[in-house]
Chain A
């Protein structure tokens, strides 16, 4: 495939791997967090971590938008989906995320009309085609998907579609990063910045990471060469004693981001005072809801939802795993109360989460360390 294969060139990958090897001090252990779930996916898909020296460890960050949705909100979604006349729409990968009493997939099997969509506009189309039904869209994701939800909400208003509403569970990337960085036991050396989020928010929002916390950042694209190059950039900063935000993904990410998308988001959304993250707890100003101007399209106002907070079991140590303080298997509930079949924390929900990956592939990873 043209314009794709160029970014997956094995020879260039080997050259970058060689550069990375030349940048590390042999006795030092490096922990670099890729913030975004999309990066985690690419790292697994292409085996990027296999090309890194043993003392460069990638820590999978909190940026998987479905995994961070807490159980209570999944429960709310299921309750909504079971209401008379409701068609509940959501992205496919949200369907498997467990609530306290099953997932949306199981609710669908139990009779709720739950439909998978690829875009919020699909949900709006379903609303148009089913004027006698209430169509609810479960809006999730970081700043990457929030603009498309915002545009859909605006279009629903403009076209006078009144049987559409939105259960807004959008989150923002900076507050959880700040929460991680605030912890005194953080053991990370640098961050691979989220490329897709940055196309919207730009590079500036990440400048506090080097400025306030002294950690280098490289905003990166999602092809394997992008990721390797970003790792090389971070290691070079560390080797040269520099600390700044570098933009590896210049071909897509402008410094200022997408100002029009930001304007639409500012119009349609407002910050919640706090939002709960699975495994991380409540983080201030980290979630979005529909603004007062669009309150009539807010599913949580249109319908009554339980809104019950379901506490993560106290023993869950996702926060420490994300900070790189403990390895997945050192968590008290790992492999016992918390398994990929019955996950508790965000790191076990997605197959790419740090704990699920370790559960499924730990033996392979260990073999690799020995080689």
Chain B
């Protein structure tokens, strides 16, 4: 006869074993098994990760790429350069608070900025659809020029292609950015440590919500504008205030703040605890998200970043951030812990805790 105590521990041993197997499976590099590309592969969640880790990294894997930063760092005779590239396929082309051209500059500038690189130059590649009104093109070219001037980058190279009607939504814009790594920056997605604080540079969810409403599919009206802007002034201020204590920064675009937190929790093998109450959300965004049944933490931003900073430098960093125009609402939203590694937990405003997982797919139309 087995005594109940030993039976209980045998059961929990089995449970431990199963949890261990799952953990190993989850920790493994994702495989790509799908037969065709579907919309989820572009949504920035688990499917995108599977595509990157299962197809791109094995084919192109290099030191810089394996870091999985927003920009790759290349060293040429002692000079550290950051390079990044992005395609913009947003619909509609113009939306409250911005347009595809402005987005194409700021998005690439921001990928350089959060990598700790001062943006220097951009290349611009346009894919235009047959029949695009010239005025619309002109307006976007002006938007690109204005955004580049505001961000202090030069457009130094370009290319134009025209495709047949029906092959592009008006226009697609691709930009590649070159930046010079700032000597004050020692940033890496693997550098985040337990005890670090998590800062957010402002209120979230505005870009994604503005785009969804601009499409007119929901018959909802709200005054929400895209937050598209260059993050370099904010990064510059942070590097001044907390240079070596800054661990990592990432702009919370597609997939939102939740995706950034999950990516960094995974790459640094740490846990994150976020206080929902402290996350700034514009009331109109909160209202739209409530009606549409989406969580603003997963909604795209185009001018907001998540900053991981050592605890002792967090107050200085936050003060510096709030002094930057557009970042007045910056907030400390949580902290980094040891257990359970790779997971993001939320302390809900209601008083409970839950796991904030990576986005599994994308129920929403593409937004950036």
Contact = CB atoms under 8 A, between A and B. Distances in A.
Q: Do A and B come from one complex?
A: yes
Given A116-B363, A367-B340, A4 B290 contact: yes
Given A1-B286, A106-B35, A116-B363, A362 B350 contact: no
B23 A363 contact: yes
Contacts of A334: 18
A302 to B, nearest CB: 28
B340 A364 contact: yes
Contacts of B39: 105, 108-109
A111 to B, nearest CB: 9
Interface stretch (B61-69, B180-188, B327-335, B353-361): B353-361
A46 B290 CA distance: 13
Given A48-B352, A359-B22, A367 B339 contact: yes
A357 to B, nearest CB: 9
B16 to A, nearest CB: 9
A4 B288 CA distance: 13
A213 interface: no
A354 to B, nearest CB: 15
A168 B297 CA distance: 35
Interface string A73-114: 000000000000000000011011000001001101110000
Contact of A364 (B15, B286, B295, B343): B343
Contacts of B340: 363-364, 367
Contacts of A10: 349-351
A1 B287 contact: yes
A47 B38 contact: no
Nearest to B23: A363
Contacts of A47: 346-348, 350-354
Interface string A30-52: 00000000000000111111110
Interface string B22-58: 1101000000001111111000000000000000000
Interface in A240-286: none
Nearest to A7: B350
Contacts of B345: 364
B139 interface: no
A360 B355 contact: yes
A224 to B, nearest CB: 5
Contacts of B287: 1
Interface string A332-371: 0011000110000000000100000001111110111000
Contact of B36 (A46, A48, A95, A106): A106
Given A1-B287, A363-B343, A364-B345, A92 B363 contact: yes
Q: Interface of chain A, helix or strand or loop or mixed? A: helix
B325 interface: no
Nearest to A50: B352
Nearest to A103: B38
A13 interface: yes
Contacts, number: 102
A106 B34 contact: yes
A179 to B, nearest CB: 28
A366 B19 contact: yes
A167 B347 CA distance: 42
Interface centre among B22, B345, B352 (most CB of A within 10 A): B352
B353 A50 contact: yes
B166 interface: no
B73 to A, nearest CB: 33
Contacts of B4: none
A13 B350 contact: yes
A105 B350 contact: no
Interface string B273-305: 000000000010011001000010000000000
Nearest to A327: B15
A8 B350 contact: yes
Interface in A1-24: 1, 4, 8, 10, 13-14, 17
Contact of B352 (A49, A106, A108, A361): A49
Contacts of B37: 109
B351 A93 contact: no
Contacts of A361: 343, 355, 357
Nearest to A44: B354
B205 to A, nearest CB: 14
A45 B19 contact: no
A90 to B, nearest CB: 12
B18 A105 contact: no
Contact of A362 (B19, B35, B218): B19
B21 interface: yes
Contact of A14 (B19, B22, B286, B351): B351
B355 A46 contact: no
Nearest to B40: A105
Given A1-B286, A329-B15, A351 B360 contact: yes
A110 B351 CA distance: 45
A118 B351 contact: no
A94 to B, nearest CB: 10
B18 A329 contact: yes
Contact of A109 (B36, B343, B346): B36
Interface of B: 14-15, 18-19, 21-23, 25, 34-40, 217-218, 283, 286-287, 290, 295, 339-340, 343, 345-355, 357, 360-361, 363
7 contacts: A45-B348, A106-B36, A109-B38, A329-B15, A334-B18, A339-B25, A362-B22
Lowest 5 A-B CB distances belong to which pairs? Answer: A47-B352, A50-B352, A109-B38, A92-B363, A46-B350
